[in-house]
Structure 1
Amino acid sequence: MKVALFDFDGTLYPGQTFNVMLKHLKDHPQYSKNYLKFMSRFRLVYIGYKLKLVSKDTMRSEAMKLYILSFKDNTKEEIVDYFKELGQEIRQDLYQPLIEKVKALKAKNVYTMVISGAYTELLQGILEDDFDHLIGTTIPFKEDKIDTSNEILHMQSDVKVKEIKKHLEDKDVDWANSYAFSDSITDLDMLQLVGNAYAVRPDDELRQYAEVNGWGIISNE
């Protein structure tokens, strides 16, 4: 079987979902109080990042964790509905040339996957009917509420390949004829899994790597 692996932020979606998530939460008629909870806890992390006491990856992981923990008093149904609503807003701005590529690959029976640091529930709200499988940051639930005792594992670059292989471990994957798409050099390990790697509106480092290695480059140019 052939697979196609897609990053989300900067690839399928031109922007950064976390920026949209913050604005949506801040302006939300029901959950704006959660934004205040988030900011009161995140402020110190962000100051640490600006002072170079906290790494960018750590800052991002803490932001994701604190964002969802602001919903610890809400039910699972409320959280899922919130992300469905947000997902429909984000869906309107997906990068259409790549969405058409997804459709073309699915028509050839290629197994399509999204691997993203975004919450799985948000990915489902955006893309549930478009891909065969979605891998995102999992929100731990227990008895209809967020399980605050359970670690929230942010799906970043070093974890992505492990989760891809775990999901496909019982499948006979033709990696040499499979596909991967990303905008960032941080996804290099994922891109190197396949024989057909594409840099999508890439950062400078990935563009240079793609050019040297003869990878496809998809851009607005």
Structure 2
Amino acid sequence: MTRAAAFFDLDKTVIAKSSTLAFGRPFFQGGLINRRAVLKGAYAQFVFSLAGADADQMERMRRQITAMTTGWDVAVVHEIVRETLHEIVDPLIYDEAADVIEAHRAAGRAVVIVSSSGAEMVEPIGEMLGVDRVVATRMVTRDGQYTGEIEFYAYGENKATAMRDLAAEQGWDLADCFAYSDSVTDLPMLEAVGHPTAVNPDRGLRKAAAERGWPVLEFTRPVTLRSRSAAARTPVVTGTAMGVGAAVAGIAWYARRRALRTPAGGVVAAVALPAPVPPIGRRRPRGA
């Protein structure tokens, strides 16, 4: 059993776009949304890439997505996501984020994705990245269709609550855990751990990080996982991981190095990955 974990927000922290909006075109091609929705999603993606999403924008996006998905067939959504995952998401993964994830694995920590996007998107992405757990938004389904209701919204304080519950279940001391996010809306998530780091922070989070003395990283190189040769790479903590204390120092050194190199300027509960284990306290919907 690992004694600590590293928690990662997904959008603009591990991948370069909104995971929910990235699937707009496949959903259109699969007949789930119309062309107008695709265009609105493309515009939202553009705004998100420039400035992130504040609380009001996230709330508008949540309402739009829940209204749009009402009546969708759960099995069809899962099928579309799995068929297009590598084409849509693989090229968006930040090389630097993959390095940090590898460093935490080398230090013996569990890796957890914590995202407000839907489990339908986040779970397969988590499997692709090989993370240990996923926390994401969970929507209500009935008779194989989405009802438009949200059972659990992985946003704001809810993220921190899910992290505390998962830490209690797994025996992790949050004071020894790490967290990474780009958004000021994730302050509860970052404040829940002993080692918070702002990644590609929006204006609000950059200010909060400066006030609290948190490290700030800038991730700028999206790559495909296929382009990352494990044999050609040396783990970030190699030569430094001499016991738990030295491993922590290796991660902190990596964060400072990144900060110096680049000047600072949507639906489910936790599930084990990659094994197809249903979410804790909930059966996976038919067709998942």
TM-score bucket (shorter structure):
0.7 to 0.9
Say what the alpha-carbon RMSD is for the aligned residues.
Answer: 2.5
Deviation track 1:19-51 (CA, whole Å, cap 9, x = no partner) reads 32223323x1x32xx213995xx9xxx9xxxxx
Structure 1 match to 2:138: 138
Please show how residues 104-115 of structure 1 align to structure 2 within 5 Å. Answer: 104-115=103-114
Please say if residues 180 and 197 of structure 1, whose CA atoms lie closer than 8 Å, have aligned partners that are also in contact.
Answer: yes
Q: Distance in 2 between matches of 1:149 and 1:207?
A: 34
Q: Distance in 2 between matches of 1:150 and 1:65?
A: 7
Structure 1 match to 2:15: 13
Deviation at 1:137, TM superposition (A): 1.4
Which TM-score applies when normalising by structure 2?
Answer: 0.62
Q: Distance in 2 between matches of 1:170 and 1:69?
A: 33
> Any idea what SS the aligned residue of 1:134 has?
strand
Q: Distance in 2 between matches of 1:140 and 1:91?
A: 28
> Any idea what SS the aligned residue of 1:159 has?
helix
Structure 2 match to 1:51: none
Structure 2 match to 1:77: 75
Q: Distance in 2 between matches of 1:81 and 1:194?
A: 36
Please say if residues 20 and 121 of structure 2, whose CA atoms lie closer than 8 Å, have aligned partners that are also in contact.
Answer: no
Please say if residues 84 and 126 of structure 1, whose CA atoms lie closer than 8 Å, have aligned partners that are also in contact.
Answer: no
> Any idea what SS the aligned residue of 1:10 has?
coil
> Any idea what SS the aligned residue of 2:196 has?
strand
> Any idea what SS the aligned residue of 1:80 has?
helix
> Any idea what SS the aligned residue of 1:148 has?
strand
> Any idea what SS the aligned residue of 2:117 has?
strand
Structure 2 match to 1:87: 85
Runs of 5+ unmatched residues, structure 1 = 47-54
Deviation at 1:146, TM superposition (A): 1.9
Q: Distance in 2 between matches of 1:163 and 1:17?
A: 20
Please say if residues 8 and 116 of structure 1, whose CA atoms lie closer than 8 Å, have aligned partners that are also in contact.
Answer: yes
Please say if residues 37 and 70 of structure 1, whose CA atoms lie closer than 8 Å, have aligned partners that are also in contact.
Answer: no
Please say if residues 11 and 201 of structure 1, whose CA atoms lie closer than 8 Å, have aligned partners that are also in contact.
Answer: yes
Runs of 4+ with deviation above 6 angstroms: none
Q: Distance in 1 between matches of 2:164 and 2:145?
A: 27
Deviation at 1:77, TM superposition (A): 3.0
Structure 1 match to 2:59: 58
Deviation track 1:88-144 (CA, whole Å, cap 9, x = no partner) reads 21122111111111111012210111110111121122221521101111233344x
Identity of aligned residues (%): 19
> Any idea what SS the aligned residue of 1:170 has?
helix
Please say if residues 84 and 121 of structure 1, whose CA atoms lie closer than 8 Å, have aligned partners that are also in contact.
Answer: no
Please say if residues 201 and 217 of structure 1, whose CA atoms lie closer than 8 Å, have aligned partners that are also in contact.
Answer: yes
Q: Distance in 1 between matches of 2:110 and 2:173?
A: 11
Q: 1:150 to 1:116 in 2, by over 3 A?
A: same
Q: 1:68 to 1:168 in 2, by over 3 A?
A: farther
Structure 1 match to 2:269: none
Runs of 5+ unmatched residues, structure 2 = 45-55, 221-261, 263-288
Please say if residues 115 and 155 of structure 2, whose CA atoms lie closer than 8 Å, have aligned partners that are also in contact.
Answer: yes
Which TM-score applies when normalising by structure 1?
Answer: 0.80
